[in-house]
Chains A and B, each alone.
Chain A
Amino acid sequence: MGRFLLVTIQVDMHDQLALTLQDDLTQRIVSDRAKGVLIDISSLDVVDSFIGRMISSIAGMSRVLDAQTVVVGMRPAVAITLVELGLDLAGVRTALNVEKGMALLQESVG
């Protein structure tokens, strides 16, 4: 049985850092044989379309590597902004917090 990875995204994420994150994550998924990735965005007060796209990309990459992604910790204001921006992150699963996210991953993987 594979392992789960936890990614925490902070506000000051810019282009270079995002690319680095994607690199690191995809490598870790393969090297750890991870089956699940938890993306924790609970420390994000605001999101813009850049971060929205980045989350979608990460989820896509994980899927390609046969790992499930769950995004957790979305704040109400952030959810509303994403929806208004038209980024409903289709295909990305979500949970309210890390515990529920873990439960979700274990269900779908285990």
Chain B
Amino acid sequence: MKEIDKNPLAAVFRKHEAEILAEWTAEQAARGTRRDPAQEAELRSTSKEFLGALVAAIREGSASDTAAPNWAPVRELLGELSSRRATQGYSPAETATFVFSLKQPVFGRLRRELSDGQALGDALWQATLLIDSLGLYTTEAYQKTREQVIQRQQRELLELSTPVVQLWQDILALPLIGTLDSGRTQVVMESLLEKIVETGAAIAIIDITGVPTVDTLVAQHLMKTVAAARLMGADCIISGIRPQIAQTIVHLGVDLKEVTTKASLADAFTIALQRTGSRVETARAEMA
């Protein structure tokens, strides 16, 4: 007698895979609320795949330790299923329920096959542990997928929100949107300094219209950026100072040192043009 047949649960799975699958699919159809034919077909094939992998895993080794190597294909399958479901908008509970619903047909089958109370009890407990751990695995996989999405979005947000544009010869503009924390300050400084080297700019206008609050920390970060630009031979002008911000700056006693500040980007640009030796003239229309 094969090793795995000594384990009643494993034997039941192995001998009655097809029946369990049929009962499970019927059970899902009866329980489920989504009746779209395409989704039902997908559900049937996923169930078949999952059960097949489960039986294969039991055939290879332990039927209880789902972290063992023989369960790797099952874990992979569940991981993919979880990710797919996550992007399709299913809740983690729905995906876990999919796995947990396997208990019904399995328990039913065990009750039919095992007459000895002790053996039935043991097998039921084993089945519960096994299916529970697989169901929990799907929720963990779901969490991981969501976290990856969030991290990717954070990265993109950071990149998106620190453009440095060349306004004119030797004049750069750095429109800041959102709060300035130490992480962003690093990115801002690097972008600005690289652009200064690239363009040989002499003036950088840092516009803070989009910065919601300026407290002492934000002011510190701003001053650091200004100092770094200065070390590269570029002067900074801070523009876009809202009335609220001006009040906060004075109340907090923030020392802006000799940095030129302007309320609007237009004013800052005018000063920058003057400093770099340019002038703006309005062409007069010729009268006939």
CB distance from A86 to the nearest CB of B (A): 9
In chain B, what residue has the closest Cβ to A94? B233
Number of interface residues of B (CB under 8 A): 17
B231 A96 Cβ-Cβ under 8 A: no
Asked if A95 is at the interface (CB within 8 A of a chain B CB), the reply is yes
In the complex, chain B residues 211-240 whose Cβ is within 8 Å of any chain A Cβ: 224, 227-234
**Contact with B200, one of A74, A76, A84, A100 (Cβ below 8 angstroms):** A100
In the complex, chain B residues whose CB is within 8 Å of the CB of A83 = 189, 224, 227-228, 231
Could you say which residues of chain A place their CB within 8 Å of the CB of B200? 96-97, 100
Is residue A79 within 8 Å, beta carbon to beta carbon, of the partner chain? Answer: yes
Q: Check if A82 is an interface residue, CB within 8 A of chain B.
A: yes
User: Distance in Å from the Cβ of B10 to the closest Cβ of chain A?
Assistant: 61
Contact of B197 among A82, A88, A89, A96 (CB under 8 A): A96
Q: Within the complex, which residue of A75, A78, A84, A95 is in contact with B233, where a contact is CB–CB below 8 Å?
A: A95
Q: Which residue of A has the minimal Cβ distance to B194? A: A76
The answer to whether B190 has its CB under 8 Å from any CB of chain A is yes
CB of A58 within 8 A of chain B?
A: no
Question: What is the chain B residue whose CB lies nearest that of A99?
Answer: B200
Judge whether B230 and A76 touch: CB under 8 Å: no
Question: Interface SS of chain B: helix, strand, loop or mixed?
Answer: helix
Contacting B at CB under 8 A, from A45-83, are: 71-72, 74-76, 78-80, 82-83
Give B189's nearest chain A residue, CB to CB.
A80
B208 contacts partner chain A, Cβ-Cβ < 8 Å: no
On chain A, the residues within 8 Å of B232 by CB distance are 74, 76, 79, 94, 96
Q: Are B197 and A80 in contact (CB under 8 A)?
A: no
Which chain B residues border A82 with CB–CB below 8 Å? Answer: 228, 231
A80-B190, A83-B224 known; A88 vs B233 contact (CB < 8 Å): no
Query: Which residues in B have their C-beta under 8 angstroms from that of A80?
Result: 186, 189-190, 193, 228
Q: Which residue of A lies closest to B230 (CB)?
A: A94
- A31, B208: Cα distance in complex, Å: 49
B196 beta carbon closer than 8 Å to chain A: yes
Contact assessment for B193 and A79 in the assembled complex, using a CB-CB cutoff below 8 Å:
yes
The answer on a CB contact under 8 Å between A72 and B190 is: no
A contacts, CB < 8 Å to B: 71-72, 74-76, 78-80, 82-84, 88-89, 94-97, 100-101
User: What are 14 of the A-B contact pairs (CB < 8 Å)?
Assistant: A76-B193, A76-B232, A79-B228, A79-B229, A82-B228, A83-B189, A83-B227, A83-B231, A88-B230, A88-B231, A94-B232, A94-B233, A96-B232, A101-B233
- 8 A-B pairs with least C-beta separation: A76-B193, A88-B227, A95-B233, A79-B231, A96-B233, A83-B228, A79-B228, A94-B233
Q: List 17 additional contacts besides A79-B228, A82-B228, A101-B233; criterion CB under 8 Å.
A: A72-B233, A74-B231, A74-B232, A76-B196, A76-B228, A79-B189, A79-B193, A80-B228, A83-B189, A88-B231, A89-B231, A94-B230, A94-B231, A94-B233, A95-B233, A96-B196, A96-B197
State the B residues within 8 Å of A (CB).
Answer: 186, 189-190, 193-194, 196-197, 200, 224, 227-234
